Amino acid sequence: ESCGCENSGGEIIEPIYILLTGRATKKHNGIEVPVDRIAVEAARNYIDQNFKVLSSDHIEFDARIGETSTDLKSIYDKEGAPKSNDTSFGVGHAPLSPVEKTVRTLEKVLHEKIEAAGEDIKVMGLRTEDKLKLTVATAVIDSRVTEMEEYQETVSKIKELSREHAEKHTDLETEVNVNTADIIEDESVYLTVTGTSAEMGDDGSVGRGNRSNGLITPHRAMSLEASSGKNPVSHVGKIYNLLAQQIAQDIHEKSGEYAEVKILSQIGKPIDKPEAVDVETSADRELVEKTVEKKLENIQDITDKIVYGELKTY
């Protein structure tokens, strides 16, 4: 949409469509569990609590959640640590590099400090020797800018804040480019009603975005598991990715050394007894082994922290 001098914002004329899918247990001990209704209510609440302008009224929710398989249900019937419901692996590394820290934390800074910045913010960092190039795409909320000039001022603020943030976390000479697809003379700019590109022209799916550490890191080991879409009790696609990050972080904090951790599961085996744990680090071997053992002993703490919102997967 184009910028008008008295722009009060556009309107959503066709709702965003969100399909909630997956598998769940819909009956427990003879009691029906309204999984679809719970999922839709949770999704509506999340939208209403976490977005500046986008609301659940802008969205059509559809739940098509199926019943989980009988053999996977059985992994919950045993005592002790839950049994893994998949053969998969998780990875994590620590510490983050200065560029990774910059990219990881910039979105929150822009969202909090710039009123017109929506939630749809994408940051790409490219380091070449002692230079850093940041490409930042930020959906600007149309009702919070009144004219093209104010839109351009918002883009300039994003650029300056991004440069300051990079200089705070790195010693690199930084170049920042913002909303590079804009064509100002045609008034074709990244202006949105809701602060997200989901309202028009973009689709999303769980697992296509950031890994569980909040980054996409092509020069690091990564798992392709869609961690946010996995259950927090027995699915190692969620648990092992978070566990690997915690182990790597603990090793770094105790030794000062870089650590990269990979953990492999086998379906049906207890999650506290992985098939393999591989740690690449210069830290002392005994320290590494003790750290891994302690984290595995307390692996169910991860489930509790996820449930209570203390751990994120994006």
The answer to whether residues 95 and 262 touch, using CB atoms and an 8 Å cutoff, is no
Q: What is the pLDDT of residue 217?
A: 93
pTM score, whole prediction = 0.88
- What b/e readout covers 232-243, taking b as 16+ CB neighbours within 10 angstroms? bbbbbbbbbbbb
Residue 82, domain member (yes or no): no
Residues 105 and 192 in one domain: yes
Bridge partners, 304 (sequence order): none
* pLDDT tens string 191-244: 999 999 888 867 777 777 889 999 999 999 999 888 888 889 999 999 999 999
Residue 5 has pLDDT above 50, yes or no: no
In this structure, what CATH number is given to the domain that contains residue 54?
A: 3.30.300.10
Domain count, the chain: 3
Q: What is the pLDDT of residue 296?
A: 97
Residue 75, domain member (yes or no): no
Spatial CA neighbour of 91 closest among 262, 213, 253 = 262
Per the prediction, the chain carries an average pLDDT of 91
Range of the domain at 125: 98-199
Q: Which has more confidence, 158 or 7?
A: 158
Q: What is the pLDDT of residue 76?
A: 63
Domain boundary residue, one of 169, 199, 229: 199
- Between CA 175 and CA 228 the distance in angstroms is 32
The full length of the chain comes to 314
In this structure, what CATH number is given to the domain that contains residue 258?
A: 3.30.300.280
Which run of H or E residues covers position 65? strand 59-67
Average pLDDT value for residue range 126-153: 96
- Between CA 194 and CA 204 the distance in angstroms is 16
Residues 230 and 152 in one domain: no
Residue 1 has pLDDT above 60, yes or no: no
Percent of the chain with pLDDT over 70: 94
* pLDDT tens string 28-75: 888 999 999 999 999 999 999 999 999 999 999 999 999 876 656 666
| Cα distances (angstroms) measured from residue 180 to each of 128, 159, 177, 183 | 20, 12, 6, 8
Residues 144 and 237 in one domain: no
H helices present in the chain, as ranges: 35-50, 70-73, 98-113, 148-169, 236-255, 285-297, 300-307
